[in-house]
Amino acid sequence: MYGLTRGTLTLIGVGVAGFLIWLATQIGDDSTGGYWAVYGLLAAAGLTMALSQLLGGWTKWGLPRVSGSVFLIAFLPALVAGGWLLLAHQPELNWFRTHVLGWSGDLGVRGFVNDMREYVPVVAFGLGLVFGLTFDTTGPRRPREVETRETAVVKPRPGARTPDSEPEPATVERRPTVSRTEVERDDVTVQ
């Protein structure tokens, strides 16, 4: 069942991503607004592919959450580098494009930025995909038995004397402590 669900949702994701890519071809990218609409749709297509895997059960069938470490370590650097390229190749001169191209020259990466012009659509798709990969699931809750220990309980013998009188030997009865069940998730243990 798992393979069938994942395969079906991947196919649906491919269909939606393909539709978004086709939709992007229907928009002219001659103006700044059209440019961002096209590359926004391409990023949404990448996001769709990642989410199809998440919804298809790829990551443990739990509730979706944002993985902070993936967001910080993977997505933010990708956003800076990819955003740099997207800003540099806008069709109309504006403050962002002028400054990014100037800074690229100052950093000695202007040749690389120019070479990437043809691949800006792939960068936009990749940014959407990496953003989608920042989502993960917590996994299903699974019960776990807690370790039980025996405790000694001292009971006075019947007819034992009061503390003022001579003590009699006591009996020791061993009984297990009350066991409890915890619910464990991958990131949190709840008692």
149: which DSSP letter? Answer: -
Copy the structure tokens of residue 39.
Answer: 């590359």
Helix/strand/coil for 15: helix
For position 65, what pLDDT does the model report? 82
Average pLDDT, the chain: 82
Q: What residues pair up with 144 in beta bridges, in sequence order?
A: 182
DSSP 8-state secondary structure symbol assigned to residue 188: -
Per-residue model confidence as pLDDT tens digits over 41-50:
999 999 999 9
For every residue of 57-107, DSSP letters joined together read TTT-S--EEE-HHHIIIIIHHHHHHHHHHHHHT-SS--HHHHHHHHHHHHH
State pLDDT tens for residues 63-111. Answer: 778 888 999 999 999 999 999 999 999 999 999 999 999 999 999 999 9
Point out the least confidently predicted range of 48-57, 99-108, 122-131, 166-175.
Answer: 166-175
